[in-house]
Amino acid sequence: MTGNAGELPVVVLISGNGSNLQALIDAAATGGPFAIRAVISNRPGVHGLERAAAAGIPTAVVDHTGFPDRDSFDAALADEIDTYAPQLVVLAGFMRSLTAAFVNRFAGRRLNIHPSLLPAFQGLHTHRRALQAGVDEHGASVHFVTGELDGGPVIAQARVPVCDGDTESVLAARVLQREHELLPQVVTWYAQGKLALRGERVWFDGAPLQAPIQC
């Protein structure tokens, strides 16, 4: 899938099932102003690669286990990304922290989706931690990627209630449904030229965001 002229070229990074990737594929196929040039995984054999292949999108694997250190893996990953000349790199369930050199190479051109209402519950096991904390609301955030893990400026969030009797898997499924709406929306805004990272600040429609957009 190479896309038409005028569509923003995007590379998507994944590590697993690729359900957020599928949401992006569906959005691009139904008129979204972006084209997925490639899907790259750090793990071979994951279902997300099959989703991409089924949609006619080129795939690649840069297996982190084949490198002696993070720096060499990140350099190889960045080189692979650059072969597709993307204007945006989207981390959609990509489960690797990345070095400063990688972050700087794609500064202002990387988005990540995280299953919590950042800055709450950075890192792993967000749904379990939300239940343990007894919060009333949980959700997902899309943010620009910086050198701080899950700490880049937040663009937009989607909220869900935490209900009595929720298990980790039930809450995760509720959040994931909103992720599938949130990520394509933010990528669309970026493709439309509405989003920019200036310094440490998100700008939207020509003005600095005072708080994350609630979707």
How far apart, in whole angstroms, are the C-alpha atoms of residue 8 and residue 88?
Answer: 8
CA distance to 7, 84, 86, 111, 119, per residue, from 114 (Å): 25, 25, 22, 10, 10
DSSP 83: T
Output the CA torsion 171→176→42→30 (10° steps): 170
Decide if 185 contacts 24 (C-beta within 8 A): no
**β-bridge mates for residue 202, sequence order:** 197
How far apart, in whole angstroms, are the C-alpha atoms of residue 21 and residue 140?
Answer: 15
Find how far residue 177's CA is from the centre of its chain: 15
Cis? peptide before 119, omega within 30° of 0: yes
**Active site annotation includes 180:** no
Strand order across the beta sheet in which 201-204 lies: 195-198, 201-204, 207-208
Given the residues 64, 114, 125, 138, the one annotated as active site:
114
Q: Would you name the residues annotated as active-site residues?
A: 114
